[in-house]
Structure 1
Amino acid sequence: MSSRWFQTVRAFGRRSLAGQFLVFQMLVVAVVLLAVAAVSVAQSTREFRDVRGQRMIAAAENVASTPIVRDRFADPFASKVLAPEVDRAVALSGAGLAEIVDPAGRVLASSDPSRVGRSVNLDVTRADEGRAWFGDDDIDGVHSLIGQVPVLSTRGEVLAIASVSEPYPSVWQLLSGAGERLLLYLGLAAGLGVLASWLLSRRIKRHTRGLEVAEIAGLADHREALLHSIREGVVAVNTDGVITLLNDSAQELLGLTAAAVGRRADAVGLDPVVVDFLLSGEDGRDVVITTRARVLALNRRIASSGGQWIGTVTTMRDSTELAALQAQLSSHKSVTDTLRAQTHEFANQLHTISGLVQLGEYDAVRDLIGELTRRRAEISDAVTRRIADPAVAALLIAKTTLAAESGVTLELDPDSHLGALDPALATDVITVLGNLIDNAVDVSVGSSAARVSVSIDDADGLSISVADTGPGVPEHLREAIFARGVTSKPEEPGGRGIGLALVRLVTAQHGGVVEVGDRPDGGAVFAVRLPSTRVVAHA
C-alpha cells in the first residue's frame, strides 16, 4: 500500500504546474460540493424528522382513537380484526409500517403480517407510561422514525400502543427530495469550478513561461548563487524606492544587512548621496561616490519587464585601493610638475647669467645669483621654520613653485606649526594637503589677487586650513563635492576627479572631519581636523 501511494505521489509530482494546479482546484471543488451535499443531507434529515415525526404521531393517535381498536385489541383474532385499521393508517399517512402492540411489547396487529407475535423494545419509548412519543429506533435492522400513542381505557389505563413508523430515506433520496434546483445548482457550481480551474491553470502556465516547479526552483537557486557570489555589489530598487535585492558584496560595501531588503532606500541609514543616486541617478554612466569609509564606482540601469519599467539595478565596485593609487600617482605627477617648473625656471636663469657673462657684467651676475639664492632661501626658511616634517615641508615648497607658475601666490600662515610625523600619517597628511592646495590653486587662477593661504597647527590634534580666492562653494553643494565625481569626463560638473573625495575618505579613516565655509574676502575655506597626531621625536 505504501509503495503504491509513493508511486502515485511521484506520478503527481511529474505533472506540469498547470496540471497540478488544475487537479488541486478540482479537489477543492469536489470538497466544496461534498460539504454542500452534507449540509443539504443534514438539513433534509432534520426537516424529515420534524415534519414526518408529527405525522407519525397524528397517524398513531388516529389508530388509537378508533373504537374497534379499544374494543377488540384483546381478541384472539385481533391480527385479522384490526388489520384494516392498521392498513388504513399506512395508506393515509404514507408510513411504512403501522402496528398495535400490547404493554408488554408483543405485536398484536401489523400492516406486515409477518411481524405479528414479535416482541418490540419499548425501553426507549414513553408510550407504555401513557404518553405519546416519537423518535428513532431500528425496525428489522432499518433505521426508522417511530410515533407511538397509548390506547387508554376509560379509567386511564394503558390497554395497548398504536405504533406508526417510516424508514429514514437514503442520502440520494434526501438530495433528490431537496429538489431539482439543488441538483442543478450543484451541477452548475461543479461545471463553473472546473472551467475556472482550467482557465486559471492556463493563466499560470502563461505567466510562468511554461516552466515547471523544479525548473523555477532551479532558476531561483542559480540566481541566488550567482548574485551572492559575484564580487561586484548589486542593488535593485523598485519604482517605489524599496530595495528588492541586495547581494553579499553590496551589503559589505554599503554597510547594510539582509534586513534592508523590503525597506525604502532612504530608510536604511545610507549616505544621502548614495540614496540620491539609487533613486534618481543617471543611467549607463560610471559614477564615483565616496562614502565615509569607501570610494565606490557605481553604474545604474533601468530594469523593465514586458516593456514596463519595474525599477533600477545598480552595480558597484570598491575603488578605494584604486583611489589610493590615484592619489600616489597624483603626488608623483606633482613632483614631476615641480621639477619641470624648476627646470624651466633654472633654464631661464642660466640663460640670463650666460648673457651677462658674455656681456662682461660680472657684478650683475653676482647680484642676480645672490637674489635668486635669497629668494629660494626665503621660501625654504618660511616653510622649514614652521614645518618640521620633511615630507610635508617638501610638498609645500613644491606647491609654492607650481602655484607661482600658474600665477597664484601660495602663503603659509606665520602662526603655523607642525612637528615631525610618523611616516604613515605623513603620507596621509600629504594626500589631504596636496589635494586641497591643488583644488584651491585651480579655482583661484584668473581671480584678482590670486592667492592661496595654508594654515597648519598641531597644538590640539592636527588642524589644516586652506583658503582660496575663487568663486566659493554654494551652500547646497558643500556636501556633494566631497562625495561624488564622474570618471573620464572632467569637463562636466563634478568631474574634477576624486581629490576632495579622497580628502574626506582619509580624514574619516583617522576619525576626523572636513568642512567647507566662506572666506571673509570671497572664496572658500576648507578645514580638516584630525583628533590626534603621531608625532615622532625631533632628531
Structure 2
Amino acid sequence: MQVTHEYAKDVLIVVKLLKSPTRGFRSLAGQFLVFQLVVVAVVLVAVAAVSVAQSTREFRDVRGARMIAVAENMASTPIVRDRYGDVGVAKVLAPEVDRAVALSGAGLAEIIDPGGTVLVSSDPSRTGSQVDLGPSRADEGRAWFGDLSIDGVHSLVGEVPILADSGDVVAIASVSERYPSLWELMGASGERLLFYLGLGAALGMLASWLLSRRIKRHTRGLEIAEIASLADHREALLHSIREGVVAVNNEGDITLLNDSAQELLGLTDDAVGSHVTSVGLDPAVADFLLSGEDGRDVVIVTRTRVLALNRRAATSQGQRIGTVTTMRDSTELAALQGQLSSHKSVTDTLRAQTHEFANQLHTISGLVQLGEYDSVRDLVGTLTRRRAEINDAVTQRISDPAVAALLIAKTTLAAESGVSLEIADDSHLSALSPALATDVITLLGNLIDNAVDVSIGSRPATVTVGLDDGDGLGISVTDSGPGVPEHLREAIFSRGVTSKPEVPGGRGIGLALVRLVTAQHGGTVEVTDGPTGGALFQVWLPTAVTARKAANA
C-alpha cells in the first residue's frame, strides 16, 4: 500500500468541499479579516476614550482654576460687596455678572445667598430660584470648584464666598461652564489626533487584509471545517495502515507515529515530539531514522523483530521538512528464510555426500573389474571406519538426534570446502524438545555456515563447535578466519539488506536470525576474538534446561 495513493482520497474530499458556496466573510480568511477589523476598531475606541478622558481632565483642571479666578474677581468687586443686599439687586448687579461671563467665556455667572437662593444671574429666568449647593464649601467661607448639574446639564462650577467686614459669608459668587460634548472634546485634541486615528484605522485595515490573504494562501483556501475534516481523514488513514509510518523533522524529532509503528518499535504516543535518540529505540533503528539512505529497503533486526524499512525525504513547497519512514514486520519472513537456508544446507550436504559416494563407488567398481578383491575389502573397511569415527565423534557427545545429524552433515559439507569441522572434547548435549531442537539447529546452522565461509583459505582451516547444557544451553563456534573488528561486533547482528547482494562484509540475515532466536529465548549472543585467532561466537539460552527436562520427563 502506498500512502501517497491513499492521500488522493483526501484530495477529492477537499475539492468537493471547496465547491461549497459559503465563501466571503463566512470563510476563514474573511472571519479573520472581520476579527482583525474589530480589534482595530476596539483599539481606536480605546485610544479615543483615553484622549477624551485626558481632554476632560485637562478641561476640569484648567477651566476649574479659571472659574475660581473669575468668581474671586466678581466677589471682590466693590459694587458687588456693597449692593448685594439692595432691593432690586438683580438689576443693579446684572452688568457685573454679564461682564464675568464675557471675560471668562463661562456659560453662567450668579450671585447666590448662603441659603441657595439665586439673587442675580446672567440667565434672568433663574433669578429667585432655589439651587442645591451640593458639596460646595463656599457657604462655610471656602472657595470651591467641582461638578454640579445645573438645569440637568453637567457643568463645571467655581464658587467663592462674599464676606462681610465681620468675616461672615453674606453671599456666594458662582461661575459655571457646561462640560463639552464628546465631539468637542475630540476636536479639542486637535486635528493631529483625528489624522492619526484615521491613519491608524487605514493601516490596521490594510494589515488585516494582507494577513487574511496570507492565511488564505497558507491554508490553501481551506475553511475551518474543511481543515478539521482533512485532519480527521489523515489521522484515520495513517492509523489504519498496516505498515508502520514514522515521520521525523530536520531536527531529528518524531512528528508522526502511527499505531503499527508504535507496536513494531515498542513506543507510545508520548514519543511524538521527542528526539529519536531519547525514546529508547534500538540504536540501529535510531541511526537509520536519522541518516538512512532514501529509496532503499533496509532490513534491521532488533532484539525481538526483523524490520524492513524504507526512508524517503518529505518536502513542502520545494523545501525539505524531514523524512517519512515506512516499516514492515518481516520476522516471519526471516524465519522462513532461515528454514529455506537449512533446507538448502541439507541439499548441499546430500549433494556433497552423493559426490563422495559416487567417487567411492567408482573406485570399488574399478577394483572389482581388476579383480582386486582384497583391496575392495580394505577400502570398504577404511570408509566404514572413517564414517563410524565421524558419527561416533558426534553421537558420543550429542544425544539429540536432530542436532547430531546436522553436525554430521555439516562436517561432510565443510570437508568439501577444505575446512575441518571439529566438536570440542568437553561438549555435551542431552535430548531436546522438538521446538527447542529446531531453534538450536537454526542457531548452529547459521553460525557454522558463517564460520566455514570465513575460514576457507586459512591455514589451518578449522571450525570448532562446542555445546554445553550444564547451566542452560551454551553454544560456541570458533573459526580460523580474519575475525570481526570490535567496532562491527554489534552491527553484524542487527543489520542486513534484502533483495540487494552488496551486504557489508558479505553478511546477510543469518547472524541477525541468530540474535532474534536467542532473544526469543531470553538468551544472549556475543562475538569475541578466538583463542588462536579468528572469531568466537557464543550463545547462551537460559530456557534450555527447563525445556530439556520437560522433554525427558
Establish whether TM, by shorter chain, passes 0.5: yes
Give the one of 348, 352, 364 matched to 1:353.
Answer: 364
Say yes or no: does 1:467 pair with 2:478: yes
- One-letter code aligned to 2:213: R
C-alpha offsets along residues 138-193 of structure 1, whole Å, 9 cap, x if unaligned?
Answer: 00111111110010000011110001111111111111111111111111111000
Shift of 1:14: 6.7
Aligned counterparts of 2:42 and 2:531: Cα–Cα separation in 1 = 85
Say yes or no: does 1:341 pair with 2:352: yes
Q: Counterpart in 2 of 1:407?
A: 418
| Paired residues of 2:110 and 2:122 also in contact (CA < 8 A) | yes
C-alpha offsets along residues 20-66 of structure 1, whole Å, 9 cap, x if unaligned?
Answer: 11111111100100111111111111111111111111111111111
SS at match of 1:357: helix
Say yes or no: does 1:96 pair with 2:107: yes
Aligned counterparts of 1:111 and 1:385: Cα–Cα separation in 2 = 138
| Paired residues of 1:388 and 1:418 also in contact (CA < 8 A) | yes
- One-letter code aligned to 2:274: R
Q: Counterpart in 2 of 1:5?
A: none
| Paired residues of 2:24 and 2:30 also in contact (CA < 8 A) | no
Aligned CA distance change for structure 1 residues 345 and 305 (closer, same or farther; 3 Å): same
Q: Counterpart in 1 of 2:548?
A: 535
SS at match of 2:201: helix
SS at match of 1:151: strand
| Paired residues of 1:481 and 1:501 also in contact (CA < 8 A) | yes
C-alpha offsets along residues 400-447 of structure 1, whole Å, 9 cap, x if unaligned?
Answer: 111111111100001000111121111111111111011101111122
Aligned counterparts of 2:25 and 2:241: Cα–Cα separation in 1 = 34
Q: TM-score, normalised on structure 1? A: 0.96
Aligned counterparts of 1:26 and 1:432: Cα–Cα separation in 2 = 74
- One-letter code aligned to 2:161: P
274-283 or 528-537, which moves further after superposition?
A: 528-537
| Paired residues of 2:246 and 2:326 also in contact (CA < 8 A) | yes
Aligned counterparts of 2:462 and 2:486: Cα–Cα separation in 1 = 22
Say yes or no: does 1:162 pair with 2:173: yes
Aligned counterparts of 2:231 and 2:346: Cα–Cα separation in 1 = 54
Shift of 1:488: 1.6
Aligned counterparts of 1:149 and 1:473: Cα–Cα separation in 2 = 110
Aligned counterparts of 1:318 and 1:80: Cα–Cα separation in 2 = 112
Q: Counterpart in 2 of 1:60?
A: 71
Say yes or no: does 1:228 pair with 2:228: no
Say yes or no: does 1:277 pair with 2:276: no
Say yes or no: does 1:518 pair with 2:518: no
RMSD: 1.5
Q: TM-score, normalised on structure 2? A: 0.94
Aligned counterparts of 2:439 and 2:88: Cα–Cα separation in 1 = 130
Aligned counterparts of 1:255 and 1:424: Cα–Cα separation in 2 = 27
Aligned counterparts of 1:17 and 1:345: Cα–Cα separation in 2 = 83
342-351 or 281-290, which moves further after superposition?
A: 342-351
Q: Give the number of aligned pairs.
A: 530
SS at match of 1:421: coil
Q: Counterpart in 2 of 1:146?
A: 157
Shift of 1:494: 5.2
Aligned counterparts of 2:364 and 2:78: Cα–Cα separation in 1 = 164
Alignment of 1:467-506 (within 5 A): 467-493=478-504, 496-506=507-517
Shift of 1:358: 1.0
Q: Counterpart in 1 of 2:12?
A: none
C-alpha offsets along residues 241-268 of structure 1, whole Å, 9 cap, x if unaligned?
Answer: 1111111111111111111111111111
Aligned counterparts of 1:239 and 1:157: Cα–Cα separation in 2 = 90
- One-letter code aligned to 2:121: S
Aligned counterparts of 2:347 and 2:22: Cα–Cα separation in 1 = 77
- One-letter code aligned to 1:39: V
| Paired residues of 2:25 and 2:34 also in contact (CA < 8 A) | no
Q: Counterpart in 1 of 2:464?
A: 453
| Paired residues of 2:492 and 2:507 also in contact (CA < 8 A) | no
Alignment of 1:73-88 (within 5 A): 73-88=84-99
Alignment of 1:108-507 (within 5 A): 108-493=119-504, 496-507=507-518
Aligned counterparts of 1:381 and 1:128: Cα–Cα separation in 2 = 136
| Paired residues of 1:485 and 1:495 also in contact (CA < 8 A) | no
| Paired residues of 2:134 and 2:148 also in contact (CA < 8 A) | no
Shift of 1:88: 0.7
Aligned CA distance change for structure 1 residues 34 and 272 (closer, same or farther; 3 Å): same
- One-letter code aligned to 1:469: S
Aligned CA distance change for structure 1 residues 237 and 374 (closer, same or farther; 3 Å): same
Aligned counterparts of 1:490 and 1:456: Cα–Cα separation in 2 = 33
Aligned counterparts of 1:354 and 1:325: Cα–Cα separation in 2 = 42
C-alpha offsets along residues 56-79 of structure 1, whole Å, 9 cap, x if unaligned?
Answer: 111111111111111111222111
166-175 or 334-343, which moves further after superposition?
A: 334-343
96-105 or 513-522, which moves further after superposition?
A: 513-522
What percentage of aligned pairs have identical amino acids?
A: 80
Consecutive unaligned residues in structure 1, runs of 5 or more:
1-9
| Paired residues of 1:285 and 1:300 also in contact (CA < 8 A) | yes
Consecutive unaligned residues in structure 2, runs of 5 or more:
1-20
| Paired residues of 2:139 and 2:169 also in contact (CA < 8 A) | yes
Q: Counterpart in 2 of 1:3?
A: none
